[in-house]
A and B are shown apart, each in its own frame.
Chain A
Amino acid sequence: MKEQAQPKHIGAGMNRVDGFQKVTGAAKYSAEYELPGLAYGVLVGSTVAKGRITSLDTKAAAGAPGVLAVVTHLNSPKVPGFTPSGKDPSQPQTVGGRLQVFHDDKIRFSDQPIALVVADTLERARYAARLVKAQYAKEAHQTNLLEAKSFLPTQAKQNPKSPMADYQRGQGDAYQGGALKVESEYIIPTEMHHPMEMQSITAHWEAADRLTLYDKTQGTQGTRRDFAKEWNLPEENVKVVATFVGGAFGNALHSWPHESAAIIGAKVTGRPVKLMLTREQMFTLVGYRPYTWQKIGMSATADGKITAITHESVGQTSSYEEFTESTLAQTRMMYQAPNLATRYRIAAVDVSTPIWMRGPGEATGAFALESAMDEMAYLLKLDPLEFRLRNYTDQDPEKNRPWSTKFLKECYQAGADRIGWRKRQLQPGALREGDWLLGYGMGVGTFGAHRGAAQVSARLLPTGRVLLQCATTDIGPGTGTAMTQIAADTLGLDPARITFELGQSGFPKAGSQGGSSTVNTVGQAVQDASRALLDKLRQQAAAGNAAFGSAAPADVVFTDKHLTLKGNDAARVAYADLLRQPDAGFVLVESKPDGADQQKYSMYSFSVHFAEVAVHVLTGEVRVRKLVSCADAGTIVNEKTAANQMKGGAVGGIGMALMEHAIIDDRYGRYVTKDFADYHVPVHADAPAVEVYFVNQPDPHVNALGTKGIGEIATIGVAPAIANAVFNATGKRVRELPITPDKLV
């Protein structure tokens, strides 16, 4: 069989298939579609955090040059999918749904859109937006999670298998009785997404009941579903195009108010409307990593065996929509602890709804868990790596079943060697270079090796090229490139003769790109579709040449104009002849995970990150001097783009650890960090060389390719590695991120 042959392209560091388009500007992003009659939308935001709009003066704006419409709750057309205002009081406070923009006079968070100005140029729309004047009946708001009145279990708690449900094995809170115990609270502040490309949409009603959206989204079909529902349209009447996405880390996994607003604006004006958020609006309208409080209690024996862990967390959500994430998932399965409890809670505050942000909840949870592991190692006077090895799990202690694969020990060893872990001293502050204290730290990450169902079509073109299509998106990891490599190896075809098209809702079915699942899911569908195409071609060729009938699919060879057979040059069928048959050279294949394997094994990717930091003794500045990120992510499809993902995730972790922090002035319920001068992300000078190591061992149970996923584990565990290194350098344990100089001086 072909797939058992040595892969030629899978694993290689092939250049991105769309790299040339990206660096020359030919790649078209959602804000770059110029349609005839295009108009521009600008949103006006509320200046209060809670209350009602008592008056809206839009006269000046409506009369300003070039203005086509000013849409507010007073004149917005009825959106069929919007439900009547008012919540069911019998439901918990957090239950609800997406913000229904311009639907009522109620203000739920500061900067909630209260008006959309549509004009014939962006400048005119922006100018007129400033002329909209609103008055409010303010109500007392609460934007501080720690002062919120009630911490609620989530709706997800109703599903006992959910990572958000309360969990216990052995005795609950048994750590309290431990002689050697750590009990600490940790805080992750609100962190903002801010990919390079801001969220944008161009909405175009091609007919009264046909809608096309050029939209920044991580899921073309999820977006299609949301807006078909909102406008009560059959899904096939809504087309979503997201051919290129300029970075998305969870912020485009949800549908947001600006998308609804642009569609309404296009409806009102009868023109296509483009709406791109400003950098400032990216803080309030597209989700963020929620502010989260956590507490860990841990006990261990003197010889370094964990006896109990209790991990609690409270994350913020909005007052109108429940957001939850798997903050406590890693704690349940990472270490052998006979007594373990997790309790996940949320609290509704008067802010916009949060959303997953790379690593999502697991990255938040890992900061607490991996910090606590470090604290316990110090208490036991044990090397933190040795402490982790003594509590290593050879099978999943949560579900009591084997891992599909786990090569975390190999990662530990590779990382320790590369960072120079031997140089590390147990005693904090023992290493010094001039005015800089040096420290080493580690943090572990894990994320489910998720795989869903996907369809891929494959078609032989008369030119001998193969075209594959799937509705998946590429938010930056190089999906099109990886899929081309998989197809090339399966088809035995030069990658230059393969085109993989993605990013359109009309293409075969795929879920959103998120949760490190795309290669696991779509990659396998590409392999399956490629195999099916090869076999179909072989069978169809048999009609013209009997030799194909008895050949193995792997023996089929593509030449310039013919299909032929390996070692049998005489067997030839011209593409032109082949494609004359009805439905020739086309397959549509659906791939699904093996349900039995999913029941039998626990499937996770694993990572460990090692950091070397320097902390200035007088100024408290922290510099990450080296990062080593090691991953057990199954088969690596493209070593170059995979390493690129790991490095990007590591730099995101530097931001989490050292600088990212969105601050609200609770008196006004408004952010005071609303641009890149106040909200810091790492610059080049903050990012050291990141060394990446992949175990690169296939996982036979996730899929036939052996992949497990990379995107999330690249970030999960980085922040605690840095925080632990800061402790090793200074003896100061910072439990509230980010670790800014004021906390160390």
Chain B
Amino acid sequence: MNQFQYVRATKPQAAIEVVAKDPTAAFIAGGTNLVDLMKRGVMTPQKLVDINRLPLNKIERQGNALRVGALALNSAVANDAQVREHHPLLALALQAGASGQLRNMATVGGNMLQRTRCAYFYDLSMPCNKRQPGTGCGALEGINRMHAIFGASDKCIAVHPSDMSVALVALDATVLVSGPKGDRQLPFADLHRLPGNTPEKDTNLLPGELITAVDIPDSPFAKHVHYQKVRERASYAFALVSAAVALDLDGNTIKAARLALGGVAHKPWRLAAAEQVLVGQPATEASFRRAAEVAMQGAKAFKHNAFKLKLAPNALVQALKTAAAA
């Protein structure tokens, strides 16, 4: 680990000023990802601004939405009564992530901003455009069974590892941001980027911008939901693929649907076209299978991850079956 300065912020604006002025500074909250990256020398901030004391951990109603503070712990959100009643999909996704110990440290903001788990990103002696632009993508022709099938570029085929974000993109959440130029909001789907030619940029946040909260709008998706995470062991593993689904049912007819996949792209992957396919259809496996086929349009596999072309639609179908029966 490199040597670094450590400062503790008590006001959001003060924290933002420090990081906005100093490109080598970084916010730290739970530190469950950043500290690992620093130990390995993948990230080398010269200054850490500890934001844990900022008053950003409330979970409360705001108009037609539930506002979850950026510093709310993953475990606190997963266990929150309002979250469980109105947005159970979010609770399910959070519980599928990491381990109990990590959920007790990790924050909502940090969860969104965690970096990819691509092995080439972590190994300083291998090429990685995300870690060091211009060095090439190690995974493209390398070991890529965990990698993207949607939206990849020849510069980067990494996937975003968050489970929580897959639920939030399905639930049409909005991210609240404070920055040196004031506050702004952006749809959750616009927070993360596709790699394109600049895979070093994970998100559309500007220098110094701090996520303060996420708003989850009221919706009819409180009952028929499921988060299906397929992984190589029963717990504590990143997804091979995951599916967040929510249905609004009238009897057995689908009024509306929200679908997203995780573990398939550089960002949580919302499936708008597949959602439309389901509207007005009966909640049957045949309908789900048709939607899953639409969902997979444009998917492209690499040497080791062709199984995702089959696993992802299967996970979607399984999630929809479970959600419909809920």
Contacts and interface: CB of A to CB of B under 8 A. Distances in A.
B228 to A, nearest CB: 7
A107 to B, nearest CB: 13
Contacts of B237: 677, 680
Contact of A683 (B125, B126, B141, B236): B236
A665 B311 contact: no
B318 A623 contact: no
Contacts of A435: 318, 321
Which of A672, A680, A743 is the most central at the interface, judged by chain B CB atoms within 10 Å of its CB?
A672
A227 B179 CA distance: 61
A183 to B, nearest CB: 27
B68 interface: no
Interface string B100-132: 000000000000000001011011011000000
A507 interface: no
B307 A686 contact: no
A123 B2 CA distance: 10
A595 B141 CA distance: 58
Interface stretch (A475-483, A543-551, A613-621): A613-621
A736 to B, nearest CB: 13
A277 B122 CA distance: 18
Given A618-B317, A683-B233, A683-B236, A665 B142 contact: yes
Contacts of B231: 621
B233 A619 contact: no
A680 B228 CA distance: 20
B315 A683 contact: no
Interface string B298-315: 000000000100110011
Contacts of A126: 1
Contact of A670 (B125, B141, B240, B311): B125
A683 B235 contact: yes
Given A677-B238, A682-B233, A685-B233, A620 B311 contact: yes
B120 A672 contact: yes
B240 A618 contact: no
Contacts of A743: 307
Which of A127, A658, A667, A678 is the most central at the interface, judged by chain B CB atoms within 10 Å of its CB?
A678
B121 to A, nearest CB: 11
A741 to B, nearest CB: 6
Contact of B230 (A47, A621, A678, A683): A621
Contacts of B142: 665, 667, 672
A659 interface: yes
B126 A670 contact: yes
A674 interface: yes
A348 B240 CA distance: 33
Contact of A673 (B119, B233, B235, B317): B119
Contacts of B125: 47, 668, 670
A745 interface: yes
Contact of B143 (A665, A680, A745): A665
A686 B41 contact: no
Interface in B115-160: 117, 119-120, 122-123, 125-126, 138, 141-143, 145
Contacts of B41: 130
A621 B315 CA distance: 11
B232 A658 contact: yes
A740 interface: yes
B166 to A, nearest CB: 16
Interface in B208-253: 228, 230-238, 240
A683 B234 contact: yes
B3 interface: yes
Contacts of B2: 127, 130
B4 to A, nearest CB: 11
A680 B233 contact: yes
Interface string A653-669: 00000110001010110
Interface in A530-579: none
A88 interface: no
Interface residues of A, number: 37
B126 A659 contact: no
B152 to A, nearest CB: 18
B228 A619 contact: yes
Q: In terms of DSSP, what is the predominant structure of the interface of chain A?
A: loop
B314 A672 contact: no
Given A127-B3, A670-B123, A686-B233, A742 B145 contact: yes
A675 B231 CA distance: 16
B263 to A, nearest CB: 12
Interface string A399-435: 0000000000000000000000000000000000001
B15 to A, nearest CB: 26
A414 B79 CA distance: 45
Nearest to A624: B234
Interface string A678-702: 1010111110000000000000000
Contact of A677 (B117, B138, B234, B314): B117
A741 B233 contact: no
Interface string A634-670: 0000000000000000000000001100010101101
Contact of B311 (A658, A673, A741): A741
A680 B232 contact: yes
Nearest to B314: A618
B235 A672 contact: no
B115 to A, nearest CB: 12
A673 B238 CA distance: 13
A745 B1 contact: no
B232 A745 contact: no
B318 A741 contact: no
A686 B228 contact: no
B119 A672 contact: yes
B318 A685 contact: no
B150 to A, nearest CB: 17
Contacts of B3: 127
A618 B2 CA distance: 46
A686 B236 CA distance: 11
Contacts of A674: 119, 122-123
Contacts of B1: 123, 126-127
Contacts of B234: 623, 683, 685-686
A740 B232 contact: yes
Which of A435, A738, A740 is the most central at the interface, judged by chain B CB atoms within 10 Å of its CB?
A740
Nearest to A111: B125
Given A47-B125, A685-B233, A745-B311, A672 B143 contact: yes
B64 to A, nearest CB: 36
A339 B299 CA distance: 52
B139 to A, nearest CB: 9
A619 B117 contact: no
A660 to B, nearest CB: 10
Nearest to B241: A619
Contacts of A130: 2, 41
A618 B120 contact: no
Interface in A126-140: 126-127, 130
Contact of A618 (B123, B138, B315): B315
A623 B235 CA distance: 11
A673 B41 CA distance: 17
Interface string A586-628: 0000000000000000000000000000001011110100000
B87 to A, nearest CB: 24
Given A670-B126, A745-B307, A619 B143 contact: no
Given A619-B228, A659-B232, A742-B240, 15 more contacts: A127-B1, A127-B3, A618-B315, A620-B311, A665-B138, A665-B143, A672-B123, A674-B119, A674-B122, A677-B238, A682-B233, A741-B240, A741-B307, A742-B307, A745-B314
28 contacts: A123-B1, A616-B318, A618-B317, A619-B228, A619-B314, A619-B315, A619-B318, A620-B230, A621-B230, A621-B231, A623-B234, A663-B143, A665-B126, A665-B142, A665-B143, A667-B142, A672-B119, A674-B123, A677-B238, A680-B233, A680-B237, A683-B235, A683-B236, A686-B233, A686-B235, A741-B230, A745-B307, A745-B310
By Cβ-Cβ distance, the 3 closest A-B pairs, closest first, are A685-B234, A742-B307, A47-B125
